[in-house]
Each structure stands twice: as structure tokens, then as C-alpha cells.
Amino acid sequence: MSDLFATQLHSTRTQLAPQACVLHGFALDVAGALLADVAAIEAFAPFRHLVTPGGHVMQVAMTNSGTYGWCSDRRGYRYDRHDPQGGEPWPAMSPAFLQLAADAAREAGFDAYVPDACLVNRYAPGTRLSLHQDRDEDDRIAPIVSVSLGLPATFLFGGFARADKAVRVPLQHGDVVVWGGEDRMRFHGVLPVKPGRHDVVGEQRINLTFRKVK
Ligand code: MD6
Ligand code: FE
């Protein structure tokens, strides 16, 4: 994409559904602060490839920040207050994380958003995330706020059944996707990340997914 097009998309919005939208470039101004916070989280709770209940190793590398962290192993998916690797509480959510999540949620029509979990995902080139619903949270109405940093990716945003047709949404560094309310349980995923190098983030895509679990 040309710089001109990228600039035009800065601070515009794409509505995906009644309560789902992309806020283009919404996190650009705070990307540096968010990445510094990711480095601090990673130093304390390293990225790791979780195993699914079915025994597959996930392509996406994950860690967490906040009161609850999303975990997967042979026993199932769940949220845990402690990192199973080491038993410590997950690193607290930073002021920059909380502020960006609340600001993006408000911009998308969700007031007073206070997430209690942030799943931090790292996609190396070639990594994909197959269509899924985020359904391990008690709160099925509060929005998911998903921040893209680094390499671009194509986000898939579908319906309420896996087989429903999904739209392809190009995501750039600094874009934020918000989905909640009646659209909270839509299937979504990420196509394989194309090889490349981002000026700041390098050969990877970092995604922050904020949720309200309890
Ligand atoms: C994204 N990620 O990377 C969207 N969900 O743009 C997700 O929807 C997601 O990365 C559950 C677990 C990890 C994820
Ligand atoms: Fe998800």
C-alpha cells in the first residue's frame, strides 16, 4: 500500500457490522509506548507456543498482561490469574494499555470499558490463526479490542457460524479492531502473515487483544 493511501486511512473507520469496526491508525501515536510495554511483559512472562486440547502446538506465540491470562493445554482453554510457567501473577496492565483500550472502545461506541485481560500475540511470517470465536470469557457483551503492530495482516471477520462467509480486512501497524455487543461472538481469524520487515517492529506482527473476562 502506498504511503498516501496509508495516510488517508489514518483516523478513518470501517464499519464491519452494527457493533464492529476498524479504527484505522488509532494506535499510531502510542505504538512506541505499547511496544515498550510489550517488551516489559515479555521480560517477565516470555512468549510461548501453547498446546491445544487436541494436542497441536499453536503457531501464534502468546503471553498475557492483566488480572487474567488466557491459557491452553491438554486439559482445555481457560483464564488463569497466574502464569502456569513459573506460577507468578501475570504482569499488570500498563496505563498505556488501559488508556488505549478504553479510548478505542469509546470511539467504537462502548463507554467505560475496563478490560481485565490482554492476550499478547506474536505472529512470525507464515503464521495464521484459524477462524474461531472468543468464548472463554464470562462477559460475552463487552468488546474485544484488538491492536495490530508491525507487519500487516489480513483479518477475517465472519458470522456466527464457522461456515458463514468472512470478509477480508487488511490491517496495518496502528489499526484497532473493536467488536462487541451483538457482534461479540462472530468468528474471526488471521490469514498467514506475509514475509517482510516492519521499520520499527521487524519481521513480526504483534497483536494485543483486550477482553473483559469477569
Ligand atoms: C488478531 N487475534 O491477531 C486477532 N483470538 O488480529 C485474535 O482474534 C485472537 O490472536 C484469540 C487468541 C489469539 C488471537
Ligand atoms: Fe480471537
Cell 510457567, residue?
85
Q: Which of 62, 77, 121, 156 is the best mutation target for the ligand 1 pocket, counting ligand atoms within 8 Å of the beta carbon and taking the most?
A: 121
Asked if residues 26 and 47 have their Cβ atoms less than 8 Å apart, the reply is no
Query: Which of 98, 90, 41 lies closest to 67, judged by CA?
Result: 90
Name the residue range of residue 29's domain: 3-211
pLDDT score of 37: 98
Q: Is 121 in the pocket of ligand 1 (CB under 6 A)?
A: yes
How does the average pLDDT of the chain come out, rounded? 96
Tell me, what's the pLDDT at 11? 83
Q: Is the shortest distance between the CB of 134 and ligand 1 below 6 Å?
A: yes
DSSP bridge pairs for 167: 157
Given CA atoms 29, 32, 36, 39 in this order, what sign does their dihedral have? positive
Ranges under pLDDT 70 in the chain: 1-9
Cα–Cα distance measured from residue 185 to residue 150, given in angstroms and rounded to the nearest whole number:
26
3-state secondary structure 129-149: EEEECCCCCCCCCCCEEEEEE
Per-residue burial over 85-108, b = 16 or more CB atoms within 10 Å of its CB, e = otherwise: eeeeebbebbebbbebbbbbbeeb
The DSSP secondary-structure symbol of 63 reads E
* 92/155 Cα distance (integer angstroms): 28
Ligand 1 pocket test, pick from 47, 122, 129 with the greatest ligand atom count within 8 Å of Cβ, gives 129
Which ligand 1 atom lies nearest to the CA of residue 188? Answer: 8
Query: What's the pLDDT score for residue 4?
Result: 58
- Give the pTM: 0.95
| Kind and range of the H or E run holding 154 | strand 153-157
Q: How far is the CA of 120 from the centre of ligand 1 (A)?
A: 9
The ligand that comes nearest to the alpha carbon of residue 72 is 1
Nearest CA to ligand 1 atom 11: 134
Residue 209 Cα, ligand 1 centroid: separation in angstroms? 6
Q: Say how far apart CA 61 and CA 155 lie, in whole Å.
A: 17
- pLDDT at residue 82 in the model: 98
pLDDT score of 63? 98
Count of the separate structural domains present in the chain: 1
CATH, residue 117:
2.60.120.590
